[in-house]
């Protein structure tokens, strides 16, 4: 049974932690800004095979870096679960009447909100490098895509945190998973340029469809249809929410 009060309380807690931890905000966007500036400026005159001539590399790169921000911020949401377990807060909420799925949805809501805020900061900072923002309607549509990208990778972080107890091990395993996801997604270069054998793995990567949908909405260019991209990330979100709820319930037995 879903309990909205429990979801709201856990969401509010994440928002308070996010606002108070200024270093967390700066740290979360520092690497994406670094990559956007140096890759965007360094390759701005390079013509990539597979890209229409009217689309510059900055325009192509920005949706990919937004996807990267969502990926890293979402996947590392699991760290907060490990910290709560270490300091006893997790046990306290697990003995409340709140259902396990409500606790998971509260975590997802808080993580998704902070991820989207950081992604929007990246999007608007990109204007200073020459990125042209689309209409407000397209930006609103991209926020919906950002939401489901976040849900996908927050759930992966929750699944990992429910089966792992060591924070250092969590960081190692998470990095091992998310870097290939990022590099295979086409965030930095067109997926079409990859060898066929590797391209197969790209099409198994949910971030590939998220980044493609963001490009379709933000710059008007996508390899697949935006609706097809959205359908795929919606389905993977539902599957991963169910999997994270099951994994969290199984891994956090009192």
Flag whether pLDDT at 209 surpasses 90: yes
Provide mean pLDDT across the span 60-88.
Answer: 80
Range with lowest mean pLDDT among 30-39, 78-87, 128-137: 78-87
In DSSP notation, 190-246 reads -GGGS-HHHHHHHTT-HHHHHHHHHHHHHTS--SS-HHHHHHHHHHHHHHHHHHHHH
C-alpha distances in Å from residue 85, one per residue of 56, 92, 161: 46, 9, 10
- State percent of the chain over pLDDT 90: 20
Q: What is the tally of helices (H) and strands (E) in the chain? A: 11, 0
Distances (CA, A) of 221 to 59, 94, 157: 10, 45, 30
193 pLDDT more than 60: yes
Q: In total, how many domains does the chain have?
A: 1
For 157, the domain range is: 4-251
**Highest mean pLDDT pick, 45-49, 78-82, 101-105, 122-126:** 122-126
Alpha-carbon distance of 185 to 63, in angstroms, equals 11
Cα distance between residue 248 and residue 254, in whole Å? 12
- pLDDT of amino acid 228: 92
DSSP 8-state assignment for residue 129 = G
Tens of pLDDT, residue by residue over 137-169, are 999 999 999 999 999 998 888 888 777 776 667
For residues 180 and 133, the answer to whether their CB atoms sit within 8 Å is no
pLDDT reading at 171 higher than 80: no
pLDDT at 231: 94
Residue 212: its pLDDT value, please?
93
Sign for the CA dihedral angle at 251, 151, 31, 67 comes to positive
Average pLDDT over residues 38-64: 79
């Amino acid at each position: 049974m879903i309990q909205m009060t429990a979801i709201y309380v856990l969401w509010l807690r994440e928002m308070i932690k996010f606002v108070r931890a200024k270093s967390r905000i700066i740290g979360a966007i520092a690497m994406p800004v670094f990559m956007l500036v140096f890759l965007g400026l360094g390759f701005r005159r390079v013509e990539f095979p597979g890209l229409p001539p009217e689309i510059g590399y900055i325009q192509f790169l920005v949706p990919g870096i937004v996807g990267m921000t969502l990926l890293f911020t979402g996947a590392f949401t699991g760290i907060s679960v490990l910290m709560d377990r270490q300091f006893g807060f997790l046990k306290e909420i697990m003995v409340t009447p709140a259902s396990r799925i409500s606790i998971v949805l509260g975590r997802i809501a808080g993580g998704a909100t902070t991820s989207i805020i950081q992604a929007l900061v990246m999007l608007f900072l990109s204007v200073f490098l020459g990125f042209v923002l689309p209409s407000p309607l397209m930006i609103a549509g991209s926020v919906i895509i950002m939401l489901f990208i976040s849900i996908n990778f927050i759930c992966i972080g929750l699944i990992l945190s429910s089966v792992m107890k060591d924070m250092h091990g969590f960081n190692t395993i998470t990095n091992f998973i998310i870097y290939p996801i990022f590099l295979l997604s086409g965030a930095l270069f067109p997926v079409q340029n990859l060898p066929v054998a590797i391209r197969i793995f790209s099409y198994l990567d949910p971030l590939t469809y998220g980044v493609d949908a963001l490009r379709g909405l933000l710059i008007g260019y996508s390899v697949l249809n935006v609706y097809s991209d959205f359908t795929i990330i919606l389905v993977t979100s539902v599957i991963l929410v169910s999997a994270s709820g099951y994994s969290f319930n199984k891994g956090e037995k009192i």
